[in-house]
Amino acid sequence: MKKRTLITIAQYVIFLGLGIFIIYRMFDQMSPQDKADMMDSIKKTRLWVLIPVLFAGFFSHLFRALRWKLLLKPLHIHPRTTNITLSVLIGYLVNLLLPRMGEVAKCTVLARYEHVPADKMVGTIVAERAFDVLCLVIVTITAFILQASVIGDYAAQMFAQLASKRVLLFGVVTGLAFLILFLVFLVRRDKHSKVGQFILGMKDGIAAIFKLKDRTAFIVYTICIWLLYWSQVVLGFWAMPGTDDLSLLAALVVLIFGSIGMIVTPGGLGAYPALIAQILVFYGISDADGKAFGWVSWVAQTGIVLILGIIAVILLPLYNRNTHHAQARVDTE
């Protein structure tokens, strides 16, 4: 078995174990009455309100696909919208099973059906994810400022804990610097090798974000993606009696902590509902209702990924079987 495969499996086991541990701790600390109250709150969910969440989830993926398509233009790669959208959906499905592998999967799938080089596309994914992190930071700062009266003390405590780990932060930054230098060394040593070509392809992909001619469309798609994420939380609030009076700003704060939960464990398992419940306490929501909302929200979002991903797996080969675009769709200009 390859070393990379072993590392991937180890990472998955570690983060999955963390998710299971969080779930165990959550339920272990709940009394029988707390568990009964949580289940009662879940049973009161207005399921019909969750139907629009499915459509919001789909359109957020569609706008993400359209934004990725813009990044591929400077590389002279022009995939069909259907193929790139289905590839994005499959990428999210793979992420549920193998965290961080969904990005590679969607590049591989698109490369197969559009006959385009996957290495350059991986570079655009790196650029896209870096931009998403920047957006998350901006949204987080905005939410903390607007909701300082509610979560100000909690935010201050979080930043204090982060500041106390300066040695760890310094180590991470130093490690990234050495990684960049090592990659430069590999390229200069032999840029025609497979590793060199892959790294150069990634560089071209990252550079694509600075060569965009449709920057306005890129920003508009990004705003649409975040608005749809936000709307999913708002619709989730409306679906449950215990949270249906929460504000739009509360939904923005929940979106931030939910995003962090999705990063911490595979698909947000355990971490997503735990973080959501913790932050909803500051809005006067009971622990039972908070945990109920966290689990209902997590199940709904995971269900969306499963449903859309499975549909994409079925539709992608059927769609391409009936097309007549057999040749590569890469410009040679």
State the Cα–Cα distance between residues 267 and 215, nearest whole angstrom.
30
* pLDDT over threshold 90, residue 124: no
> Is residue 38, in this structure, part of any structural domain at all?
no
Share the mean pLDDT of the chain. Answer: 78
> Is residue 257, in this structure, part of any structural domain at all?
yes
128 and 225 in contact (C-beta within 8 Å)?
no
151 versus 239: which is more confidently predicted?
239
What value does the mean pLDDT take over residues 285-303? Answer: 88
- Residues 219-245 pLDDT 10s: 899 999 999 999 999 999 999 998 989
Q: Which residues contact 186 (CB under 8 A, 6 or more apart)?
A: 193, 195, 196, 199
Give the pLDDT confidence score for residue 207 in this predicted structure. 61
Residue range of the domain that includes 11: 3-26+49-162+211-321
Which of 30-34, 94-98, 321-325 is the least confident region? 321-325
> Is residue 201, in this structure, part of any structural domain at all?
no
What value does the mean pLDDT take over residues 14-25? Answer: 64
> Is residue 68, in this structure, part of any structural domain at all?
yes
The residue written with tokens 């449903």 in the block is 307
Compute φ and ψ for 159, nearest 5 degrees.
-65, -35
What value does the mean pLDDT take over residues 150-158? Answer: 64
* pLDDT over threshold 90, residue 60: yes
117 versus 331: which is more confidently predicted?
117
What value does the mean pLDDT take over residues 292-296? Answer: 89
> Is residue 118, in this structure, part of any structural domain at all?
yes
Number of domains the chain is built from:
1
> Is residue 200, in this structure, part of any structural domain at all?
no
> Is residue 203, in this structure, part of any structural domain at all?
no
State the Cα–Cα distance between residues 324 and 305, nearest whole angstrom.
29
* pLDDT over threshold 60, residue 204: no
- Residues 78-90 pLDDT 10s: 899 999 999 999 9
> Is residue 183, in this structure, part of any structural domain at all?
no
Compute φ and ψ for 330, nearest 5 degrees.
-110, 130
Instruction: Extract long-range pairs of 255-260: CB within 8 Å, 24+ residues apart.
Output: 255/139, 255/229, 255/230, 256/136, 256/139, 256/140, 256/143, 258/233, 258/297, 259/136, 259/229
Strand, coil or helix: what is 258? Answer: helix
What value does the mean pLDDT take over residues 32-58? Answer: 85
State the Cα–Cα distance between residues 323 and 79, nearest whole angstrom.
13
Residues paired with residue 77 on neighbouring β-strands, in sequence order: 330
Give the pLDDT confidence score for residue 265 in this predicted structure. 75
Give the pLDDT confidence score for residue 325 in this predicted structure. 47
What value does the mean pLDDT take over residues 107-133? Answer: 82
Give the pLDDT confidence score for residue 228 in this predicted structure. 95
State the Cα–Cα distance between residues 95 and 74, nearest whole angstrom.
27
Confidence of residue 175 (pLDDT cuts 50, 70, 90): low
pLDDT > 70 in the chain, percent: 68
